[in-house]
Amino acid sequence: MSRKGSLIKLRVKLDEAITYGTKQEAMKLAREGLRKAKAKNLSGESEYFKGQIEILKRNFSTAIEHFDAAIKYNPYDGASYNDRALCMVELGIIDEALKYFDKGIAVEPDFATIHHNKGWLLNNIGKYRQALECFKKALTLEPERAVTYDNLADTFFNLNDYGGALEAYKKVLELLKPGQCKGIRRQISIKIKSLERKLCK
């Protein structure tokens, strides 16, 4: 395994913990990543994990400083552009956030997470058709991505495509690991029943 190989796996686990786990679990993984990056003298990775820790502490301006440093060490790290953009969203800097998602896509076009998160933001600001395209691109890159189907369903719902939303929500339940995210499963099951009633009218 390369010097960065174990850290890439840690990044994936951290992303999963942020999406479907607990803050405590995510913080533990971020600190483990920082410790390993420092031990391997990987400055860019150290800055990346420092940024994650600051996000979890909701110190978004400080996190941006770390992601900027990570980008200086590795201008092709799409995740650092992505997470910088997410911090900007939290700070209400929407237009610039979209630009940073695009910068991340330019340097790492095959990283599904950036397409997903750009879609999430577009959906939240009412640009549903553009969001749909982002989610579809994310799913061509990572077809088993449950969280993208969840957001895709929400976008379909916003477009009044209730059949599309229903199918996407069903796909989420299919892809979630057994025993994973019981609360989310319950919420999605309620949405499915509501959509089924709507479609039967």
Given a cut of 50, whether residue 107 has pLDDT beyond it is yes
Residue 18: per-residue pLDDT: 86
User: What does the pLDDT look like over 31-56, one tens digit per residue?
Assistant: 999 999 999 999 999 999 999 999 99
* Residue 13 near residue 29, CB atoms below 8 Å: yes
User: What does the pLDDT look like over 114-130, one tens digit per residue?
Assistant: 999 999 999 999 999 99
The span from the CA of 172 to the CA of 190, in Å, is 13
CA-to-CA separations, 72 to 30, 47, 49, 109, 149, in angstroms, rounded? 20, 10, 15, 19, 33
DSSP state of 180: S
Element (H, E) at 195: helix 182-200
More confident residue, 77 or 22: 77
Chain mean position to CA 34: 20
Given a cut of 50, whether residue 68 has pLDDT beyond it is yes
Summary mean pLDDT of the chain: 92
User: What does the pLDDT look like over 182-199, one tens digit per residue?
Assistant: 788 888 999 999 998 888
Residue 16: per-residue pLDDT: 84
The span from the CA of 144 to the CA of 175, in Å, is 6
* Residue 101 near residue 82, CB atoms below 8 Å: yes
Tokens of 63: 């996190």
Backbone phi, then psi, for 40, in 5-degree steps? -95, 5
Residue 3: per-residue pLDDT: 44
User: What does the pLDDT look like over 144-191, one tens digit per residue?
Assistant: 999 999 999 999 999 999 999 999 999 999 998 777 677 888 889 999
More confident residue, 10 or 135: 135
